[in-house]
Structure 1
Amino acid sequence: MQHIPRSPEAIAADRARYEDHQRKGLDFAPRALPAPSPRPAPDPDPGRLLAEETIPGGWYWTTRLAAGETLRILSGGLGGSVSLAAWSAADPAERMNLPDTVKVQWTTELRKGRVILSDMGRVLLSITEDSSGAHDALTGGAPATEPGTPRARNTRDNMVLAAAKLGLDKRDLHALLTLFAPVRVDEGGRFFWNGALLSGDDWAELRAEQDLMLALSNNRHPLDPAGGPVPAIRALHLAAVPVAADDPCRTASAEAIRAFQNTIRA
């Protein structure tokens, strides 16, 4: 079939319709998003700390979170990006869906106050703390930290191993969210690395909204121009605390409100 290119006028008209639809969705948002979390991260309440793990550069880690529990991730310095996969513990066929997460919330800027959705339209995780807003929902994982070194694996290899540890396989893997990766898109539609968004002491907290299985891989992002070793990150597993009725993640947008309604009904 012959491809017939669309005219610039047709492309511009489609773009205008999309932006109008987006504007209406964002204008309906009940609440503004909260400000970024302060750096460095405050010490957690010792009574909440259930476990702590250090993940060296080039390596991975798996864990499980019960609904309401939180995972705090601390960057440990510049040069590392943390790729994240998530599945429902009750049914791993329900998994993180970044296209829906971005589409439903009208933004690729996943930061404090946003939620991460499953392919069932339910909330898997809420971003309750975040110092940078510099996370990549577009490009995926990273190459090996030390090319040619057997001990260093790329993100795909790490995630295949992590999935197996959780009783899954590579068919269960999905598009990954990468934390501390300031990937942006220029006017020409090209990806670029905006390193000014990062600091050496960035951190984020993700609250589980249902029982979850998680996998993390600590690698340098392929767009990161920096060299040198990838620093270790720290992951803190924190106990659940009561959630306020006006919690920003649950009330910041009409789409988030509906997604939480879906989560509660399931």
Structure 2
Amino acid sequence: MASPPAAYRGPALDVDRLFYRRLAGEEGRELVEAFEVPIRSGRAWRVPRGHLCRLRTIDGPQVGDLNLWHADDPRERFWAARTRQLQRAHVSTFDRLWSTLPFLRPLATITADTLTGHGADGDGGRVHDLLGTRCDPYVNRVLTGEDFDFHCHSNLVRAVAPFGLTEFDVHDVLNVFQCTGLNDDDRYFMKASPARPGDHFEFFAEVDLLCALSACPGGDLSVPLWGPDARDPIGTCHPLGVEVFAPRAELLADWRPPERAAYRGLHGVRLPEWTGESPR
């Protein structure tokens, strides 16, 4: 029996695959920044529009929690829920990462993913997760009664502070390299990441971006974080690599940054007309 079609469809969701394939080619690109995010920490950085950003595993599988903002206006930020609807619950090459209202445009387009062939495993688990969100010290306190300051939410809060952002700016994430799904009871599960050293996930910045990444304290998530079998997964934690590239200039000759959504209807509210009378 065929599954129902996707609810959200339309030409606006189509991408020029040939253009993004060309961007993914590594010949002639220039490395402009490279660094590592140590285990159980976070880092924020800028990616200029028209550049590529690669996240990679270094010496073992590691989940990374990613936030994105428009670098010039952080009110515009990654919208995980709408991206999940417009693209899919686990994203890969040619999927786009969309921004919040009232902007609603692609902040980034995924150009390369070495795990693109993973598909669904025997449990229905898939990688690069949008079903869940970041681990945080608040839910940890609820579930365990203990405080821990190196959850992804806290790592991201510390990472963006030098850029003038606060905890209120940290938002639902893309869980890069994370394997998740829904079980037979329709409940969220996490599995060990299938990533191996050298795997990478790369995206093209459609606008000027501020990015933040947390190296999850759960490492590759092969060890339960909560419940009767929970234990410290420190032995499964690895750093993550970040690289920013400038593609060959000729590849961008016909490219233009996406415009924000054109809707200007004021949600049906009508502004009063001025009658020419002065206020008293």
1:224 is displaced (CA, Å) by 1.3
Superposed counterparts of 1:165-176, under 5 Å: 165-176=162-173
SS in 1 for 2:178: coil
Give per-residue Cα distances to partners, 1:174-195, cap 9 Å, x unaligned: 1011101011223321223344
- Report whether the alignment pairs 1:128 with 2:93: no
Counterpart CA distance in 1 for 2:25 and 2:85 is 35
After alignment, is 19-28 or 52-61 more displaced?
Answer: 19-28
Counterpart CA distance in 2 for 1:234 and 1:122 is 27
* Higher Rg: 2
Superposed counterparts of 1:142-153, under 5 Å: 142=135, 153=150
SS in 2 for 1:159: helix
Aligned to 1:48: 30
After alignment, is 192-201 or 133-142 more displaced?
Answer: 192-201
8 A Cα contact 2:13 2:86, kept in partner: no
Q: Quick one: which amino acid aligns to residue 140 of structure 1?
A: T
1:201 is displaced (CA, Å) by 2.9
Aligned to 2:188: 191
Identity level (%): 22
After alignment, is 214-223 or 107-116 more displaced?
Answer: 214-223
Q: Quick one: which amino acid aligns to residue 210 of structure 2?
A: M
8 A Cα contact 2:193 2:222, kept in partner: no
Aligned to 1:111: 92
Backbone CA RMSD of aligned residues? 3.9
8 A Cα contact 1:85 1:176, kept in partner: yes
After alignment, is 49-58 or 74-83 more displaced?
Answer: 74-83
1:79 is displaced (CA, Å) by 4.2
Q: Quick one: which amino acid aligns to residue 241 of structure 2?
A: R
TM-score (norm 2): 0.68
Aligned to 1:95: 77
Seen in structure 2, the aligned counterparts of structure 1 residues 149 and 20 have a Cα distance that, compared at 3 Å, is: closer
Seen in structure 2, the aligned counterparts of structure 1 residues 68 and 32 have a Cα distance that, compared at 3 Å, is: closer
Q: Quick one: which amino acid aligns to residue 60 of structure 1?
A: G
Unaligned runs of 5+ in 1: 1-15, 251-258
Seen in structure 2, the aligned counterparts of structure 1 residues 80 and 135 have a Cα distance that, compared at 3 Å, is: same
Counterpart CA distance in 1 for 2:213 and 2:193 is 24
Aligned to 2:270: none
Aligned to 1:86: 68
Give per-residue Cα distances to partners, 1:109-154, cap 9 Å, x unaligned: 211110000002111111101111411212222469xxx999x722
Aligned to 1:225: 222
Unaligned runs of 5+ in 2: 117-126, 138-145, 224-232, 264-280
8 A Cα contact 1:193 1:223, kept in partner: no
Counterpart CA distance in 1 for 2:95 and 2:56 is 19
1:203 is displaced (CA, Å) by 0.6
8 A Cα contact 2:58 2:238, kept in partner: yes
**Count of paired positions:** 227
Counterpart CA distance in 2 for 1:263 and 1:243 is 22
After alignment, is 134-143 or 206-215 more displaced?
Answer: 134-143
SS in 2 for 1:111: coil
Aligned to 2:130: 137
8 A Cα contact 1:132 1:202, kept in partner: yes
Seen in structure 2, the aligned counterparts of structure 1 residues 20 and 26 have a Cα distance that, compared at 3 Å, is: farther
